[in-house]
Amino acid sequence: MPGYWVMKMLEQFFEPKAVAVIGASRKTDSAGYGVLKSLLMGGVFESDTNRPFKGKVFAINPNAEDILGQKCLKSVLDVPGIIDLAVIVVNSQIVPSVMKECAAKKVKGVIIISAGFGEIGIEGKKREEEILEIAAKAKIRIIGPNCLGIMRPSFNLNASFGPCMPKDGNVAFFSQSGALIDSVIDWSLEKNYGFSAVASLGNSIDVRTTDFLMWAENDKNTKAIALYMEGLKDGQRFMKVAKEVSKKKPIVILKSGRTQTGMKAVGSHTGNLAGSYDIYKAAFRQCGLHIAEDMDELFEMAQTLAYQPACKDNGIVIITNGGGAGVLCADHCEGMGVKLTELSKETVAVLDKSGKMHPAYSRRNPLDLVGDALHERYSIAIDTVLKQKDVNGIIVIQTLQTMTEPMLDAKAVLDAMKKYPNKPIITSYMGGKFSRKSVELLEANHVPDFNNPYKSAIAMKALIERGKWLRG
Amino acid sequence: MLLNQKKTQELLKKYSLRYPETIIFNNLEEITNKKIPFPCVLKVDSQRVVHKTELGLVFTNIMSVEELRKKTLDAQAILKEKQITAYSFILQETVKGTEIIIGMKTDETFGKVIVFGIGGIFVELLKDVSMRIAPLEKKDCIEMLGEIKAKKILDGFRKFPAVNKDKLVDALMKLSRLAMKEKSISEIDFNPIIVNEKGAVVVDARILGDENA
């Protein structure tokens, strides 16, 4: 299916003009209230990222006069004009009748928040089939049911009952768990992470992971995709789509359900050797996906891949003002297959001649500038090392000594980023309180910074793998 | 259903997978006039026997007719004790080289999965294997060889002779082709496929599938 068509297909969800909340509620602890408030104000909790939705919002509730100052309508059929998107938050038993009204109103997309479908058994499964039939006839696309909703910060759209609007950014996050999204958003505000889109997949009876991937492939705001997955219905189809999408945009995946307690007894040796998560991992690697081991890695890798260029080849340099920190980082790199490039004679000669190096500086990779390094020494070292052809990226470590200049060191990194746009730079500002401001400066400029050099190595490894995948 | 020796060999032949010179017999009288390739291996083929080695039904390095007679009688005694009546004997030439395991299983999410590892403790104890979803490309096969921890063994290490990697890649490609084409086959073990500098020989194949399909 051509990409632009998929783009159009999900447009009613991510860039609608008019949204109806069917099941808007007065009860402040209900999802129906949360969704309406999120659309009207940008979020349930107060946050400076919240923006009211620019398009029209309609509250549907036959028993209420008005909610949050919004006049309520009895049915979606009473809405004047076109409705692109309906968010359904009613009891699952009346979802089919609400769907029929949406069909009559020619609604283009519905997000069914309500639970009580396939996840509860046969009765719910039947209800899913019923609404799918209505949707197929009326050409309505469905996200959910049993989901949290979606968010599109760049479009001021929060059609969910999540805590608030996340920061606008370039990572699309699709999750098979809605609850996880709640926590990720809260945490992303602290971390300065932004999103191009967030979507909760729910039971995925119609719009599936693969549809979201194809949409994100063509979305201008998305530079990397983060996926949280519990399971797949059609592995072959997923592989086909993921392989195509990952040629254009990096995909990072975190898969849960990795330990298999009740593995079926199988009749062959091979059967016993290939556990379910092993097979998932093999499949993911075959389509160029980056596998995250935990939540931190999922977003750290996605952020890094979104904003830093891929490594042309495997071979990087560590620049540090602390010998121990440099060796620690080198150990991590070696452990995960990140190669350290040897400094060339020319590079060392330039550093020697600069007159700014400490007499005891290391002259090799990891390049230890010694503890009293000021920003000038960092600046010369970063520039000289990046000039060396077979250096494909650098990790800059800063330990906080009394004379260290965190802000100026960060500026040296930013200058280098402009001068060498094709070589990734990852920093490891080891510290906390006293480095906070400079870390914020780095983060605001999309330099991946990690207090822990291990994480810097993981991020660099992702960029090396990305380069390898793109080379084919 | 475990495919019998005849069907197994037919399938290997169809996909140009090499197997050792083999003589199938039910009792010793049948082979009195046959030329036997010593040193040879004697095995039992039966639907009732899944793990031959564990039951002591594999005899290696047989050097003479006398020894073959003795081992056959030993096997018959074990089979009698286990009350297994439907079986035949397989006699194979001995192939020297490194014991590799390659196999296939059917996964409900992704379909046919190809698994590769080095035989013995590497697979049995350390589960040192690499895998890919079929169909495989040549590039996948080469990567698979490089992904196991014990990959250095493939270049020759102590008692393990170096293996012909091209032939091993070739065998993986053939297994992938077999897996994709023979829809009725659900699981395969080539355990071992012996690989030396000259080539790869499937010494023991266990193929599970629907024989009538």
ipTM rounded to 2 decimals? 0.84
Q: Would you call A266 and B188 a contact, using CB atoms and an 8 Å cutoff?
A: no
What is the pTM assigned to this prediction?
Answer: 0.91
Report the percent of chain A where pLDDT is more than 70. 95
Pairs of residues, one from chain A and one from chain B, whose beta carbons lie less than 8 Å apart: 75
Q: If DSSP codes are grouped into helix, strand and coil, which group holds residue A319?
A: strand
Q: Would you call A273 and B50 a contact, using CB atoms and an 8 Å cutoff?
A: no
Distance from CA of A315 to the nearest CA of B (A): 19
Partners of B191 on chain A (C-beta within 8 Å) are 269
pLDDT tens track for B191-212:
999 999 889 999 999 999 876 6
Calpha distance A245→A87 (Å, rounded): 28
**N- to C-terminal Cα distance for chain A?**
23
Average pLDDT value for residue range A103-107: 97
Q: Would you call B133 and A232 a contact, using CB atoms and an 8 Å cutoff?
A: no
Please check whether residue A239 touches B, CB under 8 A: yes
Q: Which one, of A470, A467, A285, lies nearest residue A393 by Cα?
A: A467
pLDDT tens track for A111-133:
999 999 998 999 999 999 999 99
* Distance set, CA A312 to CA A163, A326, B30, B143 (Å): 40, 23, 66, 20
Q: Which one, of A312, A286, A321, lies nearest residue A429 by Cα?
A: A321
Q: Would you call A232 and B208 a contact, using CB atoms and an 8 Å cutoff?
A: no
Partners of B113 on chain A (C-beta within 8 Å) are 274, 279, 282
Tokens 């496929």 found at: B193
Per the prediction, chain A carries an average pLDDT of: 94
Partners of A233 on chain B (C-beta within 8 Å) are 109
Instruction: Give the least confident one: A242-246, A410-414, B155-159.
Output: B155-159
Chain B interface disruption, residue of A243, A273, A280, A289, most B CBs within 10 A: A273
The pLDDT value recorded for residue A263 is: 44
- Antiparallel, parallel or unpaired: β B58-62 and B88-93: unpaired
Average pLDDT value for residue range A447-455: 96
Dihedral of the CA atoms B102, B106, B110, B111 (nearest 10)?
Answer: 100
Calpha distance A176→A364 (Å, rounded): 46
pLDDT tens track for B139-191:
999 999 999 999 999 999 888 889 999 999 999 999 999 999 999 999 999 99
pLDDT tens track for B12-32:
999 999 999 889 898 888 888
Average pLDDT value for residue range A346-371: 96
pLDDT tens track for A52-103:
999 999 999 999 999 999 999 999 999 999 999 999 999 999 999 999 999 9
Tokens 């500026």 found at: A411
Per the prediction, chain B carries an average pLDDT of: 91
Go through the domains of chain B in sequence order and give each one's CATH number. Answer: 21-93 (3.30.1490.20), 98-209 (3.30.470.20)
Examine the pLDDT at A36 and tell me if it is beyond 60: yes
Partners of A234 on chain B (C-beta within 8 Å) are 109
pLDDT tens track for A325-349:
999 999 999 999 999 999 999 999 9
Go through the domains of chain A in sequence order and give each one's CATH number. Answer: 3-147 (3.40.50.720), 151-307 (3.40.50.261), 317-471 (3.40.50.261)
Give A224-291 as a 3 state SS string. EEEEEECCCCCHHHHHHHHHHHHHHCCEEEEECCCCCCCCCCCCCHHHHHCCHHHHHHHHHHHCCCEE
The pLDDT value recorded for residue B30 is: 87
Q: Would you call A273 and B113 a contact, using CB atoms and an 8 Å cutoff?
A: no
Please check whether residue A235 touches B, CB under 8 A: yes
Examine the pLDDT at A314 and tell me if it is beyond 60: yes
Examine the pLDDT at A262 and tell me if it is beyond 60: no
The pLDDT value recorded for residue A8 is: 64
Please check whether residue A273 touches B, CB under 8 A: yes
Q: If DSSP codes are grouped into helix, strand and coil, which group holds residue A194?
A: strand
Query: Residue A323: exposed, middle, or buried by beta-carbon count in 10 A (0-12, 13-18, 19+)?
Result: middle
Count of alpha carbons within 13 angstroms of residue A105, beta-carbon side: 26
Asked if A178 contacts A191 with a C-beta cutoff of 8 angstroms, the reply is: no
Please check whether residue A263 touches B, CB under 8 A: no
* Distance set, CA B146 to CA A15, B28, B153, B165 (Å): 46, 45, 11, 11
The pLDDT value recorded for residue A472 is: 85
The pLDDT value recorded for residue A233 is: 84
Please check whether residue A402 touches B, CB under 8 A: no
